[in-house]
Structure 1
Amino acid sequence: MGTENGDKWSKTAVVVIDMQKDFILPGAPMLVRDGEAIVPNVIKTVEVARNRGIPIIWVVREHDPLGRDVELFRRHLYGDGKPKPTSKGCVGAELVDGLLIQEGVQTPNCIRQTVFDAVALDYQRVTVIIDATAAATPDIHIANIFDMKNVGVETPTLEEWCQS
C-alpha cells in the first residue's frame, strides 16, 4: 500500500455488526429480513477494507444461555426448552459463512447507536454502506438511513465506497 493510499485510509475503520447466523439465516430466531441478501456485500466490504489496511471492528452478540444479559423485550426467547439465540458457544452465535474475524474486537451494539455515538464523539466522516446493512423491513432500513443522513452520515452503496 502506497503512502498516499495509506494516508487516505489511516483514520478509517469498518464496523461489522450482528452478521451472525441467528440474525441472518432463514428461520433464525432473531432474523433480520433481507439480512441474507447483504452477506455478499458485507464480505466484499471486509475484503476491500483489509486490502486498504483499514481496521475492522467486529460487533457480535454472545449472550448468556440463561438470558440474564438479554434486553427485556427478548427475554421470552430464553425460556425453558426454547433455543437460546446467539448464546455463547452455540452455532447461531457464529458468523455467517464467508466472514472470518482476524484480530477483531467484539462488543454488543447496533448500527444506528454506533453511528450516533460516533457522531456525538465528533468522529469525522462517519459512513454507513447502505447495501451492506439491513433492518427488519425495508421501510425501517430507509427511515434509519434517512435519520443518519440528517446528522451528516455519509451513505454510499458498496460500489460507490469501493470507488472512493
Structure 2
Amino acid sequence: MSYTEERMTARARDAYRNGRATFGIRPERTALLVIDMQDEFVRPGWSPYWVPAATRMAPMLRRLAETCRTASVPVIWTIFDDTHLGLDRPHALRYLPHADTGWRRPGPARVWDQMSPRADEVLIRKPSYGAFYDTPLDTMLRNLGRDTVIVTGTLTNYCCGTTARQAYERGYKVVFGADVTATDDESMQEPELAVLRKGFALVATAEEIANQLTGLVPRP
C-alpha cells in the first residue's frame, strides 16, 4: 500500500471511530423515536427474539424519554407488527434467513409495559424495519415542525439503523443513541455505530443528548 493509500485509509478509519456531526440538538426542533421496544424483543424470555441488551438499556431509555417530555420533545413509539394482513411487508423478506422459530405472537403486538408509553403519545405500527417505510411518520414530523430525530430502541443494526438512514435521506438531522440502542449480537453494535457516525448521524450517549436538550452544555 502506498503512502497516499495509507493516509486515505487512516482518514477513513478516524471518521469511523471519531467522526462527529456539527449540528446541535435543539428541543424545539427535535422528536424522540423509540423503535420497537416491544414484548418480543424486550420482555425477558417472552419470545425466541428476546434481546437481553435491550432489556438492560431500557431504564436508561426511560429516563431519556422523561427528559424529552420535560423539554417538550415529542416521544413517538413504533412497533414492528403484522399490518394489513402482511400484504404491505416487503415481499423479499420471506426469502431471507431470519431463522423463523415457528413462534407466533399470542395477541396484538405491544410496547413492553415497563417502558411506560403515555396515552397522548403516538404509536406507529410499521410493516418493515424502517419507521418511515409505508407509515405516516414523515408527515407527522413535518406537521410538528421537527427537523431532527433522536433514534433509540432495538435492533441497532436493523430497525434503528434503517430508520436513521431513511431519516437522513429525507433531510432530517439524525441523532443516534449510542447506549440507548441495542442488538441481538453485541459485537455488531460498534460496527453499526461506526458507519452511522461517519456518514449518517450524530452518534451520542443518552447523557450527551440529555445535556443538550436541557441546556447543560452549549449547542454547536
Task: Please report the TM-score for the alignment, with normalisation by the length of structure 2.
Answer: 0.60
The Cα of 1:67 is off from its aligned counterpart by 6.5
Aligned to 1:100: 117
* Matching residue's letter, 2:67: V
Hey, what's the Cα distance between the residues in 1 that align with 2:86 and 2:40?
A: 15
The counterpart of 1:84, out of the listed 95, 104, 107, is: 104
TM-score (norm 1): 0.78
CA contact (8 A) 1:14 1:57 kept: yes
Q: Using the TM superposition, give the Cα deviation of residue 40 of structure 1 relative to its aligned residue in structure 2, in angstroms.
A: 0.4
- SS class of match (1:16): strand
The aligned counterpart of 2:36 is: 18
1:162 maps to which residue?
210
Residue of structure 2 in register with 1:4 after alignment: none
Instruction: Quote the residue 2:149 is aligned against.
Output: none
User: Which aligned runs of 4 or more in structure 1 are off by greater than 4 angstroms?
Assistant: 66-70
Q: Does 1:150 align with 2:198?
A: yes
- Measure how far apart 1:75 and its partner are: 8.2
After superposition, the C-alpha distances for 1:46-101 in whole angstroms (9 at most, x for unaligned) are 1111111111221112226x876664245834xxxx5313x6x34xx222213214
- Secondary structure at 2:202 match in 1: coil
1:115 aligns with 2:133: no
| Structure (1/2) with the larger strand percentage | 2
Q: What's the offset of the Cα at 1:8?
A: 3.3
Which fold has the larger relative contact order, with Cα–Cα distance below 8 Å and residues 6 or more apart in sequence? 2
Compare CA radii of gyration and give the structure with the larger one.
2
Question: How has the CA–CA distance of structure 1 residues 154 and 35 changed in structure 2, closer, same or farther, with 3 Å as cutoff?
Answer: same
Query: What residue is the counterpart of 1:34 in the other structure?
Result: 53
* Structure 1: runs of 5+ lacking an equivalent: 1-6
CA contact (8 A) 2:53 2:182 kept: yes
Residues 33, 137 of structure 1: 8 Å contact kept: no
1:141 aligned residue:
189
Q: 2:39, 2:28 → 1: CA distance?
A: 31
Letter in 2 for 1:131: D
Q: Confirm or deny: 8 A CA contact 2:77 2:121 kept in the other structure.
A: no
What amino acid is the match of 1:146? A
Q: Which moved more, 1:104-113 or 1:130-139?
A: 104-113
Structure 1 68/121 Cα, relative in aligned 2: closer, same or farther at 3 Å? Answer: closer
* Sequence identity (%): 24
The separation in 1 between residues aligned to 2:178 and 2:42, in whole angstroms, is 17
CA contact (8 A) 1:128 1:153 kept: yes
What root-mean-square deviation, in Å, do the aligned CA atoms of Structure 1 and Structure 2 show? 2.5
Q: 1:145 to 1:75 in 2, by over 3 A?
A: closer
CA distance in 2, matches of 1:150, 1:75: 31
Assess, with a 3 A threshold, how the Cα gap between structure 1 residues 67 and 8 changes in structure 2: closer, same or farther: closer
